[in-house]
Structure 1
């Protein structure tokens, strides 16, 4: 077998075995519909971005095939190796397939390092690697065929903005108490450039912000802010290839603030993720790894 053919076979094997299990699985599991409970959460490596400074940013997502959310606190059962690169992985896993929920950046000095995301749930450990590897998993930030690019999201109109799955993490920690709802706000804009002669883009498109409990010890209840009603979305399915957003609001013509009200059931440290997408465009979709951006807000909740 030629070296080229061997590399192709190896890539196919890596793709097929991207999620490896350390315990035996029933041989007929994949032949049956997924049960509503009792299945482990599956980690996914979405792909990697090469950065100008020589570092590599690896995007991770997950699928929860259970009907209900699963909580796996960061620690032995939910860890990144090397540990020094961990800490941003979700603890709260909603039903369905969720793309690009967080990233890990491998510094240029560690370019040959393979990172691993380990998840242990329902007595089963699953892990997935991430590294600068096959070009089949290389992602880019180039405009899509109609002009869509990753939108911009920040925490103030005049402040810094981030884009892509790595997005931006707020430098400040918001504080509230268990009995006091908190308003969360992000600011958005979309630099995508569309052909105005195309009737689909004759008017500026709205973008959408969805809110997620990412980390934290208690329940987080999101309610519509008085200035922004929630969009109607269908319930999440455990087998969905792209879980529909929940607690989502529209940003008119893609520029402006998005707000939501959050209430917390227990004191502790929380991390809330806001995801901005421009999926109303015909060339933007999570299944194509474009185009959305994350913003992470830390919240300290007291009694």
Structure 2
């Protein structure tokens, strides 16, 4: 739960959406999504001065509201969808309110998904600002039945800079999203397939591959992109834009020679150098629309890297 003293004169957030940021004790089902977003926006503003003191160095000189560091990282429930087998998928992203600070939050009490194991594929490295649909959590039929009965819900908890936020999943109709097919022109997310991987992937659940490398030695990963090139009439065809980020791993990663875009169908690659040994994950977002509208259409690609020490 977000905690902190409200600055003098500031109005309280509307009660109607208060359960969107909660400790999971109450049922989180909300009908009016516009009201929810208004409440979330209010929460974001109302916590800007809560908690720890900020130094002048933490605030950008160009705008006193732009904090370079020290702010919270809020998990975001994007919505739910069903895959081609009918299985329920929960899509999550996050909002790192810092403009410069990147945070590493290990799996455990400060970064957990419940019920079930704390580790359900969520990131542990958080880059600044809003990251949409970074991962999806498959839900078993048993858990889905509990969700529908209103007795349990899936939650994601993050604690960053001494501020904790828990977001509940909501599988009511207001949170159904079109993650695998845009409803007006039938656009679908790009299909990704990593070289040597046994299967392709698409949408928030995405495609995966595993590599091994040595710290300090560049390694190149290749993959293919296939897209249907459908777009809304009023929008230009942007092709497939590829955006790279470290998703897991505490050591520095240098990303070079990364393909930035593909015109429909084509080959892509990225070269990464890992500074320290350990386990890492890199994420690529392959997006074929200009903005994240309808929560479609983009696909995640995950490179799981096992990095050995230099000999």
In 2 relative to 1, CA 137–10 (structure 1 residues): closer, same or farther, beyond 3 Å? closer
How far 1:147 moved relative to its partner? 4.6
For the pair 1:250 / 2:282, whether they are aligned, the reply is no
Q: Is the aligned partner of 1:218 residue 2:251?
A: yes
Alignment of 1:184-223 (within 5 A): 184-193=221-230, 200=236, 206-223=239-256
SS in 2 for 1:109: helix
CA gap 1:26/1:274 in 2 versus in 1, 3 angstroms:
closer
Of 67, 82, 99 in structure 2, the residue corresponding to residue 50 of structure 1 is 82
Residue equivalent to 2:110: 77
CA contact (8 A) 2:112 2:118 kept: no
Q: Which of residues 33, 36, 42 in structure 1 aligns to 2:68?
A: 36
Query: Out of 196, 219, 231, which is 1:182 matched to?
Result: 219
Task: Give the RMSD, CA atoms, in angstroms.
Answer: 3.1
- Where do 5+ consecutive residues of structure 2 fail to align? 1-28, 52-63, 148-152
Greater length-normalized contact order (CA 8 Å, ≥ 6 residues apart)? 1
Deviation at 1:50?
Answer: 2.8
Question: For the structure 1 residues 179 and 147, does the alpha-carbon distance in structure 2 shift closer, same or farther, using more than 3 Å as the test?
Answer: same
Q: What corresponds to 2:177 in structure 1?
A: 139
Structure 1 unaligned regions, length at least 5? 1-8, 229-248
CA deviations on 1:79-107 (whole Å, 9 max, x unpaired) are 11123373311111111111001111111
With normalisation by structure 1, the TM-score equals 0.74
Distance in 2 (alpha carbons) for counterparts of 1:187 and 1:117: 32
Residue 182 of structure 2 contacts residue 297 of structure 2 at CA under 8 Å; is this kept in 1?
no
Which residue is 2:168 aligned to?
129
What CA distance in whole angstroms lies between the structure 2 residues aligned with 1:110 and 1:275? 28
TM-superposed CA distance for 1:71, in Å, is 1.6
Q: Kindly tell me: are residues 28 and 152 of structure 1, through their superposed partners in 2, closer, same or farther at Cα, counting changes over 3 Å?
A: same
Q: 1:109 to 1:224 in 2, by over 3 A?
A: same
Tell me, yes or no, if the aligned pair for 2:177 and 2:294 is still in contact at 8 Å: no
1:60 aligns with 2:99: no
Distance in 2 separating the partners of 1:275 and 1:207? 9
